[in-house]
Structure 1
């Protein structure tokens, strides 16, 4: 899966001077849980830099909603519309409380033009997200719902997890419907897959909560090596 494609957030890659210059170009805005930062099909071109919190990138399909990616503090949102001036390709909504910097597309383009290094960062980020989308399409075509869910839970545990003894609690409060949207499946199929994982002792679940009890077999089921990322 590729919900969290970037290993290092955009803001973290900037020098201190460039970071300060970027933050001075926009205005800070707070969003409540489920509030939309941008809407699919809208023709606005402003760019957001998420400062705190988590957002979901969602797209409507004939079969329902898909969650294409999750974005966290330090990451860019909406830069594609600022660059190509075409309608928004997806909706971005807050999963919880979110603070973001909002700046006009024109200001963002001028910021990039004055800093070729920043332009390279944005292009590298777009390329990484494209590769992630390719991986996602391959998974949808070849992996079962159980395998896709296992890979998704491993990714969420590795990037957002909070240790609880020998287990890892996923900190993002995602419903079963949102997990289904993240793996391109129905809620019923994800509920069945979660029952199988619980029966095997790999996860424990509650209302909008998932605790991974045994990471290694879950990684293997999701197509990984059984070892933590980076080892």
Structure 2
């Protein structure tokens, strides 16, 4: 099985032969940057696993403002709620970069679940982790100021997408500053001010759609 797929939550704890058989039923799909994979409110009938690239998950408020819940990358799965709940999609998924993914529809996966209950257990664990992260995000919006939320978001993105570069940590997030603002639930101006302050203090260096973290310890303290 592809190593990226093998790390996906749906395959964790599933015996290799069953995981390989399930992987063989997945359909590969390719999306360009900026493509809307699905939209909040439309019927949901598939789950997706990312092989390469990044996808943002968010929703719009009644006044048109957008909030981002998740920035997903290789091995991440999304759209799984449609497997358990045939209701409309609760968010919109849009590609941040070019994306290669695999997908499976509800009937095919439910057939697998009926014979392999451990797959359902793994899906429920993924959903539970997603809910826990959502609860943490709500708490941050209430109890943490904007600079603290920006610092925490950068560290979370570093954990997911960071790479070592000459002893420093580079985070290639591929997000615009507007998208970072949507991710932390603040205005672009406030986020820009926080990033400029971090750069002035020597904690990081801004380089387009990536950040070079120079002092992760101070950034972590600011995130608390």
For structure 1, which runs of at least 5 residues remain unmatched after alignment?
Answer: 1-7, 224-231
Cα RMSD for the two superposed structures: 1.6
What's the TM-score once normalised by structure 2's chain length?
Answer: 0.90
Give the match for residue 4 of structure 2. Answer: none
Give the Å deviation of 1:42.
0.9
2:198 matches 1:181: no
Residue 175 of structure 2 aligns to a residue in which SS? Answer: coil
Matched ranges for 1:47-196 at <5 A: 47-61=47-61, 62=63, 64-196=65-197
Give the Å deviation of 1:12.
5.2
Residue 58 of structure 1 aligns to a residue in which SS? Answer: strand
Regions of 4+ moved over 4 Å: none
Give the match for residue 21 of structure 1. Answer: 21
Residue 102 of structure 1 aligns to a residue in which SS? Answer: strand
Alpha-carbon distance change, 17 to 113 in structure 1, aligned in 2, over 3 angstroms: same
Give the Å deviation of 1:63.
6.2
Give the Å deviation of 1:81.
1.6
Give the match for residue 5 of structure 1. Answer: none
Give the Å deviation of 1:217.
0.7
2:9 matches 1:10: yes
Residue 25 of structure 1 aligns to a residue in which SS? Answer: coil
2:58 matches 1:31: no
Give the Å deviation of 1:181.
0.9
Deviations, residues 137-156 of structure 1 (Å, cap 9, x unaligned): 00001100000000111111
CA contact (8 A) 1:47 1:108 kept: no
Distance 1:137 1:211 in 2: 27
Distance 2:169 2:92 in 1: 30
Give the Å deviation of 1:11.
5.0
How many residue pairs get aligned? The number is 216
Distance 2:15 2:37 in 1: 26
